[in-house]
A = this chain, B = another copy of it.
Amino acid sequence: MAQLVNPDLVRERSRASFDTGKLTAVLYGGPDEVTRKRRIEALALKDPDYTHEDLNYLCREDQYVAMLKKSLMAARKVRELGLSERDRDSYMDFLLDWRAGAVNLHRTMFTLTLQQQGNQEQRAKWLKLAEDFSILGSYLQTEMGHGTFLRGLETTATYDPSTQEFVLHSPTLTATKWWPGGLGLTVTHGVVMAQLYTQGQCMGPHMFILQLRSLDNHKPLPGIIIGDIGPKYGCNDGDNGFLRFHQVRIPRDNMLMRFAQVAEDGTYSMVLDPRLIYGTMVSMRVRLTEQSNFALARAVTIAVRYSCVRHQSELTPGEPEPQILEYQTQQYKLFPHLAAAYAFWFTVQTLQAHYEQVNSRLQEGDTSGLQEVHALSAGLKAFTSLAAHRGIDECRLACGGHGYSHASGLIYLLTSQAVIVTGEGEATVMLLQLARYLVKCYAKSQAGAKLPSTVSYLQTVQSAAVSGVTARDLNNFDVLTEAYQHRAARLVKDAAEGVRFKVVSEGQSESDAWNNSLVSLVKCAEAHSHFFVVKTFVEAVRRADVDDSARAALISLCQLYALHGICEQAGDFLQHGFLTGPDLPLARSQMCSLLSKVRSDAVPLVDAFDFHDQTLQSVLGRYDGRVYEHLYQWAKKSPLNKAQVHESYYRYLQPFLQQNRAKL
């Protein structure tokens, strides 16, 4: 029997102006890729061994246990199924999502670090163990007192040539390792970042691998104190942990020695250009940019579908209550994020391709392009994660009261996304990394040097005449791109010259001048990232292998993304004369026209993301739109409903009420 679909969603889909499947193919890189994706998902969904229970009902401890069980089962199955490496990753990603479960850090940062930073013997020994899941590992970098600033880490690894061992130690409370996923209760091993001391000298942070818990009884090894760091905003199914070392000795060859080594007598030597490690960092940032994009796309899917099912209030007196997506304000809340989700989707693809190009050169020792992609990925990780975080929260708010319930699926998305803003490089620090690169490039171009492609526009900043558009042109892709390029160029110039002015004319030290310019430096990095996204989106829409109807939908989204940014940041565009005062209301009204254009295809546009209901985990965002009956079913399963009268009544409420009534 066919599943009934909410008639509002049936109507929305029936009037789609394009073939949803064709757009899905564009997003995933062709129809074969869509087939592959769905095949993997079906493998996980049809397997009766998984229960896919709703973690929201469970207390933190039970959430942890449920995810541990599921993770270990997935790790076992993934081998039994004999999947390719890529399918294996997709299978695990689909099943475990980004939940902070036991094996997520094991199969990413732990394994990646061994691969990238271990020498041949180390890889042979440890990678095999890790890939077979004979050990489980975490990545121990952050400390209680230090996050993104690695040079400040306090954990020490002091080489003792007399025994040929390193001594790992936490010299202070703030040196306690803090946050590593899986560390609290689960992992047996860890790769640890510590300040290397040898022959009386500190050589800076290096990586070491060591066993943390007994393989017989799982107790922490001598000199190691481990625990869970307590309840968090999100990720409560994970056992993020803390760890303190008290003079823990490990063999010399537990230092990961691909890039640098310590000889038996303690002599330190570099082996490879340490910049090669940057490749790992860039790849993590690309991955996080992708996660931000998926999270935003999911949130928008949920909010758009729900906004078509929900009816409320009145537009025209006497008429039935309209779908809430009919309200211009609801469109204004959601569609810019829908457009951003498409923009970021193509941005991730372009960034990924850019990284792969640089990385393949890197494998041959050629570091050209590394700085550029390193700066770009830092900026985009920050820019997209912030935008997605804000966007998810606006989607949540746009769902009203029901958006506040865990039934919405939006709470999970929001609290997971918050990690990406701060984790693996805090957003402001990342933007300042990009800003430093931009300021350097600007100075180079002033000195006549040629710049890499993504920043070459900085060369033209001096000559760029303000072209003064009329708002009529503001749907033109070239004009929109130029607007963002112009804004980025001027803001980089302003920031760079602001720093110089403080040094030269005000006599500030370089570091004071830099610190006193941080706000404008962050702003220029955001503007550069924004320009990159707009330009990439425009190029993707022009290039996309779709028919006219789908392209028309993409064009509207792209125009909306760019115009919305102009209206939101109007000061920047007016400041430099790219727009004039009277243009602004016209730009706003054009943006509003785009909202109604996007309205008619909103549901097909989110359907095209092809998220399975199991991925969305949202009563509000269900494909079939049967929101209310499932919300009611969901609530009834709340653990607080297990008895008709809760036991606390007998203990507290009944005596209280009886006593008060007796007094009457």
Say yes or no: A239-B640 contact (C-beta < 8 A), given A65-B648, A571-B570: yes
Scan residues 520-579 of chain A and give those whose CB is less than 8 A from a CB of chain B: 520, 522, 567, 569-577
From A466, which residue of chain B is reached at the shortest CB distance? B581
Scan residues 326-358 of chain A and give those whose CB is less than 8 A from a CB of chain B: 326-329, 332-333
A401 and B185 form a contact (CB under 8 A): no
From A228, which residue of chain B is reached at the shortest CB distance? B640
As for how many copies of this chain the complex holds, the number is 2
A426 contact set on B, CB distance < 8 A: 400
A628 and B173 form a contact (CB under 8 A): yes
Q: Is residue A218 contacting chain B, with contact meaning CB distance below 8 A?
A: yes
The CA-CA distance from A233 to B664 in the complex, in Å, is: 40
When each residue 442-473 of chain A gets 1 if its CB lies under 8 Å from chain B and 0 otherwise, what string results? 00000000000000000000000000000000
A419 and B404 form a contact (CB under 8 A): yes
Closest-CB distance, A56 to chain B (whole angstroms): 5
Closest-CB distance, A645 to chain B (whole angstroms): 5
Say yes or no: A581-B577 contact (C-beta < 8 A), given A227-B638, A230-B635, A315-B515: yes
Partner of A232, one of B215, B405, B423, B629: B405
Residue picked from A69, A152, A329, A411, most chain B C-beta under 10 Å: A329
Q: Which label, helix, strand, loop or mixed, suits the secondary structure of the A interface? A: helix
A657 and B215 form a contact (CB under 8 A): yes
The CA-CA distance from A505 to B316 in the complex, in Å, is: 20
Residue picked from A57, A134, A640, A663, most chain B C-beta under 10 Å: A640
Q: Is residue A421 contacting chain B, with contact meaning CB distance below 8 A?
A: yes
A312 and B147 form a contact (CB under 8 A): yes
From A429, which residue of chain B is reached at the shortest CB distance? B313
Partner of A574, one of B152, B421, B570, B632: B570
Closest-CB distance, A293 to chain B (whole angstroms): 20
The CA-CA distance from A200 to B518 in the complex, in Å, is: 69
Partner of A149, one of B313, B316, B520: B313
Instruction: List the one stretch of A160-168, A174-182, A267-275 in contact with chain B.
Output: A174-182
Q: Is residue A120 contacting chain B, with contact meaning CB distance below 8 A?
A: no
B570 and A576 form a contact (CB under 8 A): no
A648 contact set on B, CB distance < 8 A: 64-65, 68-69, 185
Scan residues 579-596 of chain A and give those whose CB is less than 8 A from a CB of chain B: 581, 584-585, 588, 592
The CA-CA distance from A588 to B239 in the complex, in Å, is: 44
A186 contact set on B, CB distance < 8 A: 653
A56 contact set on B, CB distance < 8 A: 230-231
When each residue 16-46 of chain A gets 1 if its CB lies under 8 Å from chain B and 0 otherwise, what string results? 0000000000000000000000000000000
From A234, which residue of chain B is reached at the shortest CB distance? B404
Instruction: List the one stretch of A86-94, A138-146, A250-258, A279-287 in contact with chain B.
Output: A138-146
Q: Is residue A59 contacting chain B, with contact meaning CB distance below 8 A?
A: yes
B65 and A326 form a contact (CB under 8 A): no
The CA-CA distance from A185 to B151 in the complex, in Å, is: 53
Partner of A571, one of B68, B509, B516, B574: B574
Q: Is residue A631 contacting chain B, with contact meaning CB distance below 8 A?
A: yes
Q: Is residue A519 contacting chain B, with contact meaning CB distance below 8 A?
A: yes
Q: Is residue A84 contacting chain B, with contact meaning CB distance below 8 A?
A: no
The CA-CA distance from A628 to B176 in the complex, in Å, is: 10
Residue picked from A69, A151, A229, most chain B C-beta under 10 Å: A229
B411 and A133 form a contact (CB under 8 A): no
A142 contact set on B, CB distance < 8 A: 401
Closest-CB distance, A384 to chain B (whole angstroms): 15
From A638, which residue of chain B is reached at the shortest CB distance? B230
Partner of A644, one of B220, B516, B574, B577: B220
A628 and B312 form a contact (CB under 8 A): no
Scan residues 190-226 of chain A and give those whose CB is less than 8 A from a CB of chain B: 215, 217-220
A640 and B64 form a contact (CB under 8 A): yes
A422 and B404 form a contact (CB under 8 A): yes
Q: Is residue A654 contacting chain B, with contact meaning CB distance below 8 A?
A: yes
Partner of A581, one of B227, B328, B575, B660: B575
When each residue 590-619 of chain A gets 1 if its CB lies under 8 Å from chain B and 0 otherwise, what string results? 001000000000000000000000000000
B144 and A631 form a contact (CB under 8 A): yes
A588 and B217 form a contact (CB under 8 A): no
B144 and A636 form a contact (CB under 8 A): no
A427 contact set on B, CB distance < 8 A: 397
B584 and A68 form a contact (CB under 8 A): no
- Besides A228-B635, A575-B581, 20 other CB < 8 A contacts? A61-B639, A64-B646, A102-B653, A142-B401, A144-B628, A148-B400, A149-B314, A152-B313, A152-B321, A217-B645, A227-B641, A228-B641, A239-B640, A313-B429, A327-B518, A328-B518, A397-B421, A516-B592, A570-B571, A577-B581
Q: Can you list 16 contacts pairing A with B, beta carbon distance less than 8 Å?
A: A68-B653, A132-B664, A133-B657, A134-B661, A218-B649, A220-B644, A228-B638, A228-B640, A229-B405, A230-B635, A242-B632, A313-B429, A316-B512, A396-B418, A401-B423, A404-B418
Cβ-closest 6 pairs across A and B: A570-B571, A59-B59, A228-B640, A230-B638, A328-B518, A149-B313
